[in-house]
């Protein structure tokens, strides 16, 4: 069974190494991983972005499941590129699993980026925009999409020292994927 | 034809009014809009987040198309909740259109939030994470998803004074949706 590995891991300086470690974990559970960096596309090439898109889409279409790394990226929430891929896989009827190495509630994380205050029964930020305050780890669409299309978002009890290096929550997703795909 | 209206507009203090204005624009082009706030769910109700998810999902499943507001939200990129919905609609084979009222390149916007510098032929942020630098308005997955599943991302020549209030780019998407859906 093939699993697409979505996540901002591809932006890390150690992106290739992380991909190899994730692939090894998948293999140890009898699963084949498809990782965006497995496509060797020169970022300086003409139309590189379009070629990367089509290569990633082909991998997603080939995979039976996705494991999305929803650890917050450049802001209080998950990487939008990763979230697009989670949505695409959900819409395609594939098994959707995900993890975040930051277990804090979304509203608490927003408060680290911008002033937040209660106002007429809701939480708002300094621009007056409502802050989702359901005690969830991120936007309700992603969190409940996982509940419906796969399994509950996996989070560690405490954020690891290096949220990009620790693959325990990832491995929990792989175990879940192996169980689910075995019964299909 | 029914169009799902995705966007962080629902977090605005004037969310209901924006929804009405968007609905009126859709109606003037012969289209019916489905807007998340059309679901009257008390945010204080038990399981409110799950009920909102299912109500939004039902609207997406009912719609033939999505118009996603990808204007940057609480960070350099689009709202992840909106992006999930765009991905879900793309995976479902629906017509996908989108706009952003901030036409600046993604890499320029990242530089407003965090130090960015060139390093060994790529652009990296202060945490060493690669910054996508293809001259696109946001992450390549969303931008090219629109190219493939609908039409190119609509952006104004210059950001309007109030990016949440100006619906010109939205109306351009509605016109495109009306043309595309008429020929189906």
Q: How confident is the model at residue B42 (pLDDT cuts 50, 70, 90)?
A: confident
Instruction: Give the whole-number percent of chain A exceeding pLDDT 70.
Output: 98
- Tell me which residue of A77, A91, A89 sits closest to A8, measured CA to CA: A77
Q: Is the pLDDT assigned to residue B184 strictly greater than 80? A: no
Chain A residue whose CA is closest to B94: A91
User: Are the beta carbons of A49 and B140 separated by less than 8 Å?
Assistant: yes
Per-residue pLDDT, A184 = 63
Contact between chains at B52 and A13 (C-beta distance less than 8 A): no
Measured between beta carbons, which residues in chain A are less than 8 angstroms from residue B88?
87-88, 90-91, 145
Is the pLDDT at B183 greater than 80, yes or no? no
Residue B91 has pLDDT above 90, yes or no: yes
Q: Which residues of B touch A57 (CB under 8 A)?
A: 148
Q: Nearest chain B Cα to A120, which residue?
A: B13
pLDDT at B166: 98
pLDDT along chain A (184 residues), means of 10: 96 94 97 85 86 96 98 94 98 98 96 92 91 95 97 97 97 96 74
Residues B74, A125: C-beta atoms closer than 8 Å = yes
Band (pLDDT 50/70/90 cuts) for residue B39 is: low
Beta strands (DSSP E) in chain B are: 2-6, 32-34, 65-69, 95-99, 116-119, 122-125
The structure's pTM equals 0.97
Averaged confidence pLDDT in chain B: 94
Q: Which residue in A81, A91, A114 is closest to B141 by CB distance?
A: A81
Contact assignment for A144 to B87 by CB distance below 8 Å: no
CA distance to A80, A167, B22, B37, per residue, from B10 (Å): 18, 35, 12, 7
Query: Confidence class of residue B22 from pLDDT cuts 50, 70 and 90?
Result: very high
ipTM entry: 0.96
Cβ contact A86–B85 (<8 Å)? no
Calculate the average pLDDT of chain A.
Answer: 94
Nearest Cα to A164, choosing from A84, A101, A82?
A: A101
Asked if the model's pLDDT at residue B147 lies above 90, the reply is: yes
Interface contact flag, B144 A49, Cβ < 8 Å: yes
Q: Do A84 and B85 count as a contact with CB atoms less than 8 A apart?
A: no
pLDDT for A158-172, tens place per residue? 999 999 999 999 999
Interval A50-73: pLDDT, tens? 999 999 999 999 999 999 999 999
Q: Give the DSSP letter string of B121-175.
A: TEEEETTS-B---SS-SS-HHHHHHHHHHB-PPB--SS--SSTTT--HHHHHHHH
What is the CATH number that goes with domain B2-102+138-182? 3.40.50.450
Residue boundaries of the structural domains of chain B: 2-102+138-182, 106-136
Of the candidates A43, A87, A148, the beta carbon closest to that of B84 is on A87
Residues of chain B with C-beta less than 8 angstroms from the C-beta of A129 = 8, 11-13, 73-74
Q: Do A75 and B78 touch (CB under 8 A)?
A: no
By Cβ distance, the residue of A56, A73, A122 closest to B141 is A56
CA distance B61 to chain A (A): 9
Nearest-CB residue to A129 (from B12, B83, B125): B12
Which one of A84, A92, A134 makes the best mutation probe of the B interface by having the most chain B beta carbons within 10 Å? A84
Label residue B71 exposed, middle or buried (CB < 10 Å: 0-12, 13-18, 19+). buried
**Mean pLDDT across B161-176:** 97
Q: What is the CATH number of domain A2-102+139-182?
A: 3.40.50.450
């Amino acid at each position: 069974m093939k699993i697409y590995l979505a996540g901002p891991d591809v932006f890390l300086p150690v992106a290739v190494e992380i991909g190899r470690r994730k692939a090894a974990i998948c293999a140890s559970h009898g699963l084949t991983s498809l990782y965006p960096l497995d496509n060797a596309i020169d970022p300086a090439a003409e139309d590189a972005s379009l070629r990367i898109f089509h290569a990633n889409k082909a991998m997603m279409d080939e995979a039976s499941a996705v494991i999305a790394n929803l650890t917050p990226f450049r802001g209080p929430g998950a990487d939008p590129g990763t979230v697009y891929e989670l949505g695409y896989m959900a819409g395609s009827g594939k098994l959707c699993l995900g993890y975040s190495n930051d277990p804090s509630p979304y509203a608490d994380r927003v408060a680290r980026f911008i002033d937040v205050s209660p106002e007429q029964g809701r939480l708002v930020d300094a621009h007056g925009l409502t802050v989702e305050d359901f005690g969830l780890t991120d936007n309700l669409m992603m969190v409940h999409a996982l509940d419906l299309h796969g399994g509950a978002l996996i989070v560690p009890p405490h954020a690891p020292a290096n949220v990009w290096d620790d693959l325990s929550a990832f491995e929990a997703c792989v175990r879940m994927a192996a169980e689910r795909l075995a019964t299909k």
